[in-house]
């Protein structure tokens, strides 16, 4: 029985985290100004190297926490990038993760301390290496995700209006949706609770607030559906 696979090449393995958020300005992504060479000072995804004694999932969580202080964020792995010259310094394979989080809950203070910054998807700067490609793949994945799983619990405040939910979906799918059809499709998913409370900020009439029914929402997360928006 062997103790090791001698003579095989070893490589650096990193994780990169794509964190989506949403607020009344639209869909955003969390970036950092890279603190070390090469490309120091350029905008970048939050990334770091895998350590010998941790899984990729753990590494992704650790890296995100390091840059933002964020805890307990569930990220989903989506692709390993391995072009030989993707990192000019040294051969590095990077496994990309993405997650959705609520901007307001996740305290601007922490993010400020850590120098991470939210950017509108549409105004994202050029990023280092192949990070722009990662983001666009993650966007594609997120778009796709809306058609099989509910989205929103992670991105909206606890109480939200139908309009906010509609605008979230429009931001993700990057297209206008018909309000009436949208509402009836969302209602047919049966994951919302209509509250006896109105948001009076956005209109004279005021619009009802909703929240997600956590249990039903989580159930739908497991047993996919098909939603055609």
11 binds, among DNA, a second copy, none (CB under 5 to 8 A by kind): a second copy
Q: Which two tokens stand for residue 117?
A: 């910054």
CA neighbor of 20 nearest in space, from 174, 173, 155, 171:
155
Residue 1 binding a second copy, by CB under 8 A: yes
Other residues' Cβ atoms within 10 Å of the Cβ of residue 56:
16
Note whether 182 binds a second copy by CB under 8 A: no
In angstroms, give the least distance from the CB of 200 to a second copy: 40
Angle 162-173/179-189 helices, nearest 10 degrees?
A: 100
Residue 133 is among the residues annotated as catalytic for this protein: no
Give 15 or 209: the residue with its C-beta nearer to a second copy: 15
Residue 185 binds to a second copy (criterion: CB under 8 A):
no
Residue of 115, 133, 154, 167 marked active site = 115
Inter-residue contact 34 to 41 (CB < 8 Å)? yes
Peptide linkage before 197 cis (omega within 30 of 0): no
Per CB under 8 A, contacts with a second copy among 14-73 are 36-38, 49-57
How many angstroms separate the CA atoms of 218 and 203, rounded? 32
Report the run of H or E that residue 97 belongs to, with start and end. Answer: strand 92-102
Residue 179 near which of a second copy, DNA, none (CB within 5-8 Å, type-dependent):
DNA
Query: Which listed option, DNA, a second copy, none, makes contact with residue 225 (CB within 5 to 8 Å by class)?
Result: none
Judged on CB neighbours under 10 Å (0-12, 13-18, 19+), 88 is exposed
Provide, rounded to whole angstroms, the least separation between the CB of residue 194 and a second copy: 30
Summarize as ranges the residues that interact with DNA (CB under 7 A). 161-163, 178-181, 183-185, 188, 198, 200, 202-208, 226, 228
Q: 26-33 and 43-44: which strand pairing?
A: antiparallel
Does 89 sit near a second copy (CB under 8 A)?
Answer: yes
Contact positions vs a second copy (CB under 8 A): 1-5, 8-13, 36-38, 49-57, 77, 79-80, 82-84, 89-93, 95, 226, 228
């Amino acid at each position: 029985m062997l103790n090791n696979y001698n003579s095989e090449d070893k490589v650096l393995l990193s994780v990169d985290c794509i964190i989506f958020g949403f607020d009344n300005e639209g869909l955003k992504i969390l970036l950092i100004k890279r603190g070390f060479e090469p490309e120091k000072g350029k905008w970048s995804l939050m990334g770091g190297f895998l350590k010998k004694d941790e899984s990729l999932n753990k590494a992704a969580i650790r890296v995100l926490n390091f840059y933002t202080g964020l805890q307990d964020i569930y990220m989903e792995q989506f692709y390993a990038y391995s072009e030989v010259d993707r990192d000019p310094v040294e051969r590095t394979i990077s496994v990309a993760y993405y997650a959705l989080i609520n901007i307001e809950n996740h305290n601007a203070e922490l993010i400020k301390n850590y120098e991470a910054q939210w950017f509108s998807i549409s105004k994202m700067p050029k990023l280092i290496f192949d990070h722009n490609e990662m983001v666009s793949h993650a966007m594609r994945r997120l778009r796709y995700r809306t058609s099989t799983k509910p989205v929103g619990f992670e991105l909206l405040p606890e109480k939200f209006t139908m309009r906010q939910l509609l605008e979230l979906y429009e931001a993700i799918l990057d297209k206008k949706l018909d309000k009436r059809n949208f509402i009836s499709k969302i209602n047919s998913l049966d994951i919302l609770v209509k509250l006896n409370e109105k948001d009076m900020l956005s209109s004279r009439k005021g619009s009802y607030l909703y929240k997600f029914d956590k249990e039903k929402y989580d159930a739908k997360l497991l047993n996919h559906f098909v939603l055609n928006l």
